[in-house]
Amino acid sequence: MSGYPVFLDLAGERVLVVGGGAVAARKVAGLLRAGAAVTVVAPDAVAELAEDPDVRWHRRQYRRGEAASYRLVFTATDDPDVNRQVARDGRAANVFVNSADDPANCSFTLPAVVDRGDIQVAVGTNGRSPGFARWLRQRLEHTITDAHADTVTLLAELRAEARAEFGTSELPGWAEAIDDELVAAVAAGERQAAADR
């Protein structure tokens, strides 16, 4: 069965990360960038987690049923019993759970992401080969540049202008105007020429 790709707005949402090691720290870093309110539950935690003022750390083991208090849950432990319990609790409470390197206990998987400003390109393999997703992401990182992100910024401004002038931004011509030449003009610093195009 194929996954359904989605970008979540986690700003202010309560997210639980069970585990306090390096893998948990990577998950927490991404969640904080997304604006989530992150709680870590782990008896011990690496310095990035233990010393981060933006992370609420409960220095203890996971408690049965705890997942129900959160919007989203991640496990990053090396204890399969804990991962299974968190996944069971998530299913019972209709809370999505991701268990690092443990697809059997996941209700969602995480893609490898190329992030350039407002552009995010996600590569997933339905959890079957995270290594391949990372490899493909690395290839895309060389293709998608900061000029693409700058082009999105320009297009957002022009879209707002079109909406103000015509009452809608859904106008014919976007598909013809957006191409490699537009991105090249932005990359060359020819912003006005790109806007005129």
Q: How confident is the model at residue 1 (pLDDT cuts 50, 70, 90)?
A: low
3-state secondary structure the chain: CCCCCCCCCCCCCEEEEECCCHHHHHHHHHHHHCCCEEEEECCCCCHHHHCCCCEEEECCCCCCCHHHHCCEEEECCCCHHHHHHHHHHHHHHCCEEEECCCHHHCCCCCCEEEEECCEEEEECCCCCCHHHHHHHHHHHHHHCCHHHHHHHHHHHHHHHHHHHHHCCCCCCCHHHHCCHHHHHHHHCCCHHHHHHC
Mean pLDDT of 50-57: 97
Mean pLDDT of 106-125: 92
Q: What's the pTM value of the predicted model, to 2 decimals?
A: 0.85
Q: What is the pLDDT of residues 166-195, one digit of tens each?
A: 999 998 889 999 999 999 999 999 999 999
pLDDT at 150 over 60: yes
Mean pLDDT of 102-110: 90
Q: How confident is the model at residue 127 (pLDDT cuts 50, 70, 90)?
A: confident
pLDDT at 2 over 80: no
Q: What is the pLDDT of residues 5-16, one digit of tens each?
A: 899 999 999 999
